[in-house]
Amino acid sequence: MSLLNFGHAYNALYEAQKERLWQPSLGQKVQDLVGQRLGVYGYGSIGRQAARVAKAMGMDVIAYTASPRDTPEKRKDTGFIVPGTGDPDGSIPSEWYSGTDKASLHHFLGRDIDVLLVGVPLTAATRHVLSTEEFDVLSKKRAFVANVARGPVIDSAALKKALEEGKLRGAALDVTEPEPLPKDNPLWEAPNTFISPHVSGNSNDYAKRAFQVFELNLERKARGEPLINVIDRKKGY
């Protein structure tokens, strides 16, 4: 939604509306998503749903995961799936990349990405994993960065600097470091940036779905089957 607002100059249109100004010229530089490339960094349930929506809008999608997903079986989503959502069989990405080292990540980021969706869990390995070097790689296409993971995955100072220098064309941050973001934090002043208070995943059906996962796991346990949506404490997620 933030990307669409950004591409369609929503903020400028809204300001014009408040002033009762009819300004069709604001719609002359609309950025169409068709043909743009979405890089999904962390292809979990959120990343898969974002990929589904992006594909429907004509975008090309590529994915990055920590472990290789080099077979159709490994690309399947084994977690809880709301019917009609996500990418259950992992067929949406046109390209898959993986790794836990900087070189592998930079190779992925350098694949002509127009929009980067950050959806990785926060671990010791991913803290500030996106910083100056990574934004320099993304500057090849002046990517738009959206973070729906955790704030500390991104080095906020480096992000603000990249935005100010025009290396990135914009950002949508549903998570920040710290949270709540203090009023005097410089990130509020970053250009072309939309900040929301960690609410992008909220839904009036959230509790119902949580109980559905619980119910499914009770049934699976009764049948002696592995549980779904299990946290691996060694991995940290």
Which helix H or strand E contains 39, and what residues bound it? Answer: strand 37-41
| From 15, 73, 165, 179, active-site residue | 179
Is 150 catalytic? The answer is yes
Say if CB 123 and CB 237 are below 8 A apart. Answer: yes
Say if CB 9 and CB 27 are below 8 A apart. Answer: yes
Residue with the two structure tokens 């809008």 = 57
Say if CB 50 and CB 119 are below 8 A apart. Answer: yes
Identify whether 180 is preceded by a cis peptide bond (ω within 30 of 0): yes
Say how many C-beta atoms besides its own lie within 10 A of residue 196's C-beta. 14
| From 69, 75, 150, 169, active-site residue | 150
Is 233 catalytic? The answer is no
Residues forming beta bridges with residue 96, ordered by sequence position: 63
Is 15 catalytic? The answer is no
Write out the catalytic residue numbers.
Answer: 150, 179, 198
